[in-house]
Amino acid sequence: MQIIPSNGALGAEIRGVDLSQALDDDAVQAIRRALRDYCVVYFRDQVLRDEDQIRFTNYFGRAVEHVRKQRDREHKEIFIVSNIEENGEPIGALGDSEIGFHSDLSYLKRPGTISVLYALEIPRTGGNTQWCNCYAAYEALDADTKKRLTGLRAVHRHYVEAQNPPERVDHPVVRTHPETGRKSLYAGPHLTKYILGMPADESRALLNALFEHAARPEFIWTHTWRVGDLVMWDNRPTMHRREPFPPSERRLMKRTQVFNADDIPYA
């Protein structure tokens, strides 16, 4: 196994691993360390069945059915991300438009921890994914801003109202990773709406300043997808966004999701 850092803000390629085969504990622990160190890891040229992707995901928690319902399928742990339509109906979710920076499922009381995405078809242009290193973004803030953010909580909501739970969901603006002990920003323009207990104009100004800060190039790494790529990331210290791509181009991904990568509530 080779682990090759991206030389960017985060991310590393892992070579010499065939994910269609079961992994021994040493390999799993090496991948776990790489994920902890680089926040995003990827494997090229994989040829996987759904069962292979689910088995791999289960090394890092438990793959579960996504909260968004999709049409009937053999393996409900697999969530289809695609703009492809069959008989006038989409086969998956999330279409072809831009998706702004966010951490997966932050609109839930207990958000997703680890996400895994496997590429089967990719467009010729666009559709790449950018990740933000929220550790680095937090650490680069000045001392006064860090002090101001201490104890603040923000409300997260999905833009599709039906996806939201009935109760209000809020999370700390600054969170501490349960494994690394490092602090990171936990607020993104796609799902974070306002800061609790703060006047609306002040909340919006502060959030916009944090969004602009986190999107600085030195905190961002872009993955250019290839067919056969499997990318795994930790949502706790990262955000990601998807670039738009032409509606006429096909994109087909299979995603698995872990909610229970740790048994300790992430606060």
Fill in the DSSP letter of residue 20. Answer: T
Percentage of the chain lying above the pLDDT 90 cut: 90
Mean confidence (pLDDT) of the chain: 95
Tell me the average pLDDT across 30-50. Answer: 98
pLDDT of residue 261: 53
Domain residue limits at 201: 1-267
pLDDT of residue 26: 97
Tell me the average pLDDT across 170-197. Answer: 96
pLDDT of residue 66: 84
pLDDT of residue 90: 93
Tell me the average pLDDT across 87-95. Answer: 92
Tell me the average pLDDT across 104-111. Answer: 94
pLDDT of residue 262: 54
Residue 180 and residue 143 in contact, taking contact as beta carbons nearer than 8 Å: no
pLDDT of residue 70: 77
For the chain, what is the largest distance between any 2 Cα atoms, rounded to a whole number of angstroms?
56
Tell me the average pLDDT across 199-224. Answer: 98
* Domain total in the chain: 1
Prediction pTM value: 0.94
Instruction: Indicate the burial class of 3 (C-beta count within 10 angstroms; 0-12, 13-18, 19 or more).
Output: middle
pLDDT of residue 263: 44
Tell me the average pLDDT across 212-216. Answer: 98
For the chain, percent helix, then strand, then coil, each to nearest 5?
Answer: 20, 30, 50
Q: For position 255, which CATH number holds?
A: 3.60.130.10
Count other C-beta atoms under 10 Å from residue 178's C-beta: 15
Residue 24 and residue 56 in contact, taking contact as beta carbons nearer than 8 Å: no
pLDDT of residue 267: 44
3-state secondary structure 85-129: EECCEECCEECCCCEEEECCCCCCCCCCCEEEEEEEECCCCCCCE
- Does residue 65 carry a pLDDT above 80? yes
pLDDT tens digits for 150-172? 999 999 999 999 999 999 999 99
